[in-house]
Structure 1
Amino acid sequence: MRQDSIKYDQQMIMNGIQDMLFIIDVKPGPSFYYNFLNLAAMEGTGLSEKVIGKSFREVNAESKANLLEKKYSFTCKEKRVTTYEDSFLSVNNETLYSKTTLTPLFNKNNECTTIVAVVKDITTEKKAKQEADKSRKKLLESNQRYQSLYAYNLDAIVSVDFDGKILNGNAAASSITGYDIVEIQGKSYYEFVIQEDIPKVEEHFNEALNGNFQELHLAIKSKSGKEIKLMLKFNPIIINTEVTGVYSIFKDITEQEQTLDKLRQSDERFHIISEHGHILITLLDKNGIIKYVSPSYQEILGYNFEEYKEKLFLHNTHPEDRPKLNEQILQSIKQGKSCTLKFRQQHRTRGWIWTEISADPIFNDEGSFVQMMVLTRDITMQREYEKRLEYLAMYDSLTELPNRRYFNEHLEKMVKDFNQGESSAMISLFVLDIDRFKDINDNLGHDTGDAIIKKFAQRVLACLKQNQVIARLGGDEFAIMISDCKEKNEMIMLANRIVDALQEPLKIFDISLQVTSSIGIATANAPTITEYCLYKQADLALYEAKRAGKNTFKIKEVSEMKEG
């Protein structure tokens, strides 16, 4: 009875896994016969349990059978885990893409008797990568070189120039490789990669130089001569729409990549699925009590997996995330569909970390819910990276003020609220720049020019109230958006404060410079305007201030919608 129960649990878990799973018997020749396929494999290929006991050639078309026999024969011959990518037609006649991992199992005579095949659908990932590339180009417009990522990122980061020479790296990179960064600066990246991995590293590196986001697994030699397995991402460094180099972001996955012991028993077949990879596998009963957890809990959450058994699945989740998580899991059970959720879990030493789960309800033959399979992965690094990119997309790296993109969105919202009567009786837009900035820049150099822009921004910012927004539009041009005006005199007082604040010289490096500003102000008191006409009138007012001798301001009132 206990063996039947174990076999049932294993089969339920394998059927609960979203990836397609095949267990293939190997007979002399070699020839290959279906021994087991899970529900995902049946749904994805249209095959059924009727194929069990049949060979590849009895089940598949000749071309497909030839490909399968070639890949499986190679795995038997090499006696190691192999992977390959392929395309196939779904039951809906849709072309899908897959990545297959073949793991050989051996008998006492070291003969390959079984192959476990895990087939992952990567169609969505390929489409997502294309969309991510488009978004990334927009988000990286204001990116400088992410210097903060070097200092604080837990993953190793190395920057590389066009020729593959190492420019810099962080402490994590030094810890993994054993080298001080100064020891490897100026050396070719390829000097540290094992010979057999160099071609694929060159291929992926060149793709990154073309602006494509790349990821791969490879091996390097540490300073002590030890071979280290890495999961590596090549990220193009894009500054002002041009690729200037590549970031190599990697982590040590040596332990995860070590070859598993030869498996001969059916329960060992299960462990190759539950322990291999960077996911948590959790099996819940119908009351949400944890009945099984994979050993990977130790690595990802820092807890011994035995500590989780017989506890509620939600016991270690962030209090703010529990209501929504509970609601969506119940909805998943009610609809009989899988769900994907992002929430925070408590790590033993790192505190709250972001994770993503894929939860699949499992029903018995009568249609009653009996348990749930939950696959979880750590997405903390991804979340931090996304937040950093979002910040860089909306803020100016020199002044740390909102940039033109932020200004456009905020101005649009301010005008919309005003036209709908959701703000005060008047709104205003200031457009200002630094008088004679081009002469200063040409005579004193761009470093001094940048320092002046930064000091100027700080001086103006100090004149504003907390709810008044200043943005750098580019060069020495700035804009101030004010949505809480009550009367025109308030704008005059603010303009005077800015002009007066700039009368005190700016201390730049070892010199003091007198810097003034011309200011154009547009105010609106009738809810029939557009952001274009407001900006246009402020720009015309700035022009008039320049003609009036600079170091002053002019005001224009906008009372109706104008497009020119």
Structure 2
Amino acid sequence: MVMVIRVNGVASFTYEFLNSAAMEKTILNPASIGKTIDEVHTPEIAFFLKERYAKVVKTKESAHYEDFYYSSENALVYTKSSLTPLYGDNGTCTHIVSHTTDITNEKMTKKKKQASHDYLVENFTRSQSLFDNNTDIIVTVDTDGFITGGNSVSSRYSGYSINDLVGKDMFDFVVVKDRKLAKEHFNLSVAREMKDQRAHLINKSGNVIACLVKFVRITTDHDVLGYYVVAKDMTELDKRAEFYKVEKENYQIIAENVHDVIMLVGQFKECLYISPSAETIFGFPVNADFKGTFFDRIHSEDRAVVSSIFEWTTQKCIRSQSQFRLLHEEKSWIWIEVSGTPVLAEDGSLKHMVIIARDISIQKEYENRLKHFAYFDALTELPNRRYFQEYANDRLEQSQDIAIMILDIDDFKEINDLWGHEIGDSVIQEFGHRLTGCVQGENIVARLGGDEFILLLTNVTSDKRVKEMANAIYLAMETPINVQHLSFDLSISIGSALGSAEKTTISAMMKRADLAMYQAKQKEKTLFT
């Protein structure tokens, strides 16, 4: 959802543009354009929005925040918004561009993961308590397998008193289908091959108990007197195993269907696991070759930074986030955002890194567009005042050998008044195009506003270079500008200012050049001041 809001003042904002997504997913509609926030929203929502827009105007910095609302279908929608200020020629904030992304799926996935985690913790605590407060079933048997005694737990599980158990064949308490295997296991224990064996025991009430059974000899120095039969109730363990199985299947479903890429990366950057979504997002089949060469697919200009962040994250064992370019088989280079969280072993060493990666190419494209809006003139596609001043300041810091030329079209207002702004805009575009053809190298031309343009010349050691450029511009403007059925012979005025060995600023040079242009308009034709 993209919205452009005009800044009327610190506390007043008007909707000037809404894309279709903004009108489909919110209460806004075409009638909202031209209305203030106070006119469109309830006082509470208006206060919330104005507070954030006012902060952007005051700080002159972009802002980010998360919010939620209920859609027309009464569904809860979570959003993440970025507010970017745009500035007019005088440097004041005139508009704010709001870019809002629906992050409902991301929020819901996080909530589901947290709920699963909480349930897992609760189940583990309950199971752990059960294990800590119960002992195993233990009975003693003679060498023929007849019960000679038992503990209180065996009585409780079987439903018989210890006296009733004594003298009974232990295999009578094993369900029929398991008796043959249980007898074989007993015989192996007699032959000194003791192993654990699963068996189902049946109690007095007919209830079946799944157990892990072990036979342990009771011996003297030379003789086997009998056996301890140790039966561990596996009911809770089986339930827990089934729970983990279900949870594993649930997590696998999430991993295979999530729109982000989930990876487990070892301390040597080896990929231990990559979710199937990597094939869609990264454009490569998820196989052993891909797992081994993920870092090799990072753009060469980003690889060193990514490696540095990875090393820093693994050493500090803290979460990190980075953005870089990755090679996509069909789309060439795509931008991805990666969040890495270390998982530690019991001894505090790094076990592996959980990495969540997502394709942010569209976001990067939006950012580049907004940057272009902030630094370039919409009519001529030339750099604007903001770009020019930053560029010129950089060059001035490197060398004082620069010159600034400011020029405009004489009596341009008459063109607009007589023929309209559409014709005037076409003249401005052609004027800017011809100026661009006069500069090269590090020299640039920018539009300050209206019919006023500015040039920066580098490596200027005398006014000769500036005069040559002025002559080139006059020559470029000798040919009339033809717009539709009209032809315009333009007269222009130029003013210039040279840098010097003395400390100066770009603003001071622009003022001097502007004064020189004003004098030229007064027919003094003074090129420098």
TM over 0.5: yes
Matched, 1:520 2:495: yes
C-alpha distance in structure 2 between counterparts of 1:410 and 1:317, whole Å: 31
1:221-266, Cα deviation, whole Å (9 max, x unpaired): 9xxxxxx999877889998766799888779979x99x99xx9732
C-alpha distance in structure 2 between counterparts of 1:473 and 1:510, whole Å: 28
Task: Give the match for residue 484 of structure 1.
Answer: 459
Letter in 2 for 1:288: K
Counterpart mapping for 1:139-288 below 5 A: 164-165=28-29, 265-270=243-248, 272=250, 274-275=254-255, 277-288=258-269
On the 8 A contact 2:324/2:336 being kept in 1, the answer is yes
Task: Give the match for residue 42 of structure 1.
Answer: none
SS in 1 for 2:527: strand
On the 8 A contact 1:341/1:358 being kept in 2, the answer is yes
Q: 1:390 aligns with which of 371, 382, 393?
A: 371
Letter in 2 for 1:359: G
SS in 2 for 1:343: strand
When normalised by structure 2's length, the TM-score is 0.57
C-alpha distance in structure 1 between counterparts of 2:354 and 2:491, whole Å: 66
Matched, 1:554 2:529: no
Matched, 1:403 2:403: no
User: Shift of the alpha carbon at 1:435?
Assistant: 0.3
Distance 1:439 1:531, change over 3 A: same
Counterpart mapping for 1:94-493 below 5 A: 164-165=28-29, 265-270=243-248, 272=250, 274-275=254-255, 277-305=258-286, 311-419=292-400, 426-493=401-468
C-alpha distance in structure 1 between counterparts of 2:340 and 2:463, whole Å: 58
Letter in 2 for 1:451: S
SS in 2 for 1:548: coil
Letter in 1 for 2:335: W
Distance 1:245 1:384, change over 3 A: closer
Distance 1:484 1:202, change over 3 A: same
SS in 1 for 2:474: helix
On the 8 A contact 1:214/1:233 being kept in 2, the answer is yes
Distance 1:345 1:528, change over 3 A: closer
SS in 2 for 1:375: strand
Task: Give the match for residue 175 of structure 1.
Answer: none
Task: Give the match for residue 504 of structure 1.
Answer: 479
User: Shift of the alpha carbon at 1:506?
Assistant: 0.6
SS in 2 for 1:286: coil
On the 8 A contact 2:84/2:96 being kept in 1, the answer is yes
On the 8 A contact 2:267/2:314 being kept in 1, the answer is no
C-alpha distance in structure 1 between counterparts of 2:502 and 2:454, whole Å: 21
Distance 1:498 1:467, change over 3 A: same
Distance 1:309 1:200, change over 3 A: farther
1:438-469, Cα deviation, whole Å (9 max, x unpaired): 22212221111111111111122222233221
1:177-212, Cα deviation, whole Å (9 max, x unpaired): xxxxxxxxx9xxxxxxxxxxxx99999899879986
Q: Which moved more, 1:487-496 or 1:429-438?
A: 487-496
On the 8 A contact 1:505/1:514 being kept in 2, the answer is yes
C-alpha distance in structure 2 between counterparts of 1:290 and 1:371, whole Å: 10
Letter in 1 for 2:387: Y
Distance 1:214 1:478, change over 3 A: farther
User: Shift of the alpha carbon at 1:271?
Assistant: 5.3
User: Shift of the alpha carbon at 1:501?
Assistant: 2.1
On the 8 A contact 1:157/1:250 being kept in 2, the answer is no
SS in 1 for 2:379: coil
Distance 1:235 1:243, change over 3 A: farther
Identity %: 27
User: Shift of the alpha carbon at 1:331?
Assistant: 2.6
CA RMSD of aligned residues (A): 4.5
1:145-190, Cα deviation, whole Å (9 max, x unpaired): 79xxx9xxxxx857789984469xxxxxxxxxxxxxxxxxx9xxxx
C-alpha distance in structure 1 between counterparts of 2:317 and 2:97, whole Å: 48
On the 8 A contact 1:428/1:483 being kept in 2, the answer is yes
SS in 2 for 1:460: helix
Distance 1:389 1:267, change over 3 A: farther
Task: Give the match for residue 46 of structure 1.
Answer: none
User: Shift of the alpha carbon at 1:406?
Assistant: 1.0
SS in 2 for 1:554: coil
C-alpha distance in structure 1 between counterparts of 2:424 and 2:358, whole Å: 47
On the 8 A contact 2:70/2:77 being kept in 1, the answer is yes
C-alpha distance in structure 1 between counterparts of 2:97 and 2:374, whole Å: 20
SS in 2 for 1:515: coil
SS in 2 for 1:370: strand
On the 8 A contact 1:293/1:308 being kept in 2, the answer is no
C-alpha distance in structure 2 between counterparts of 1:242 and 1:465, whole Å: 32
User: Shift of the alpha carbon at 1:353?
Assistant: 1.4
Distance 1:200 1:249, change over 3 A: farther
Larger radius of gyration, structure 1 or 2? 2
User: Shift of the alpha carbon at 1:541?
Assistant: 0.9
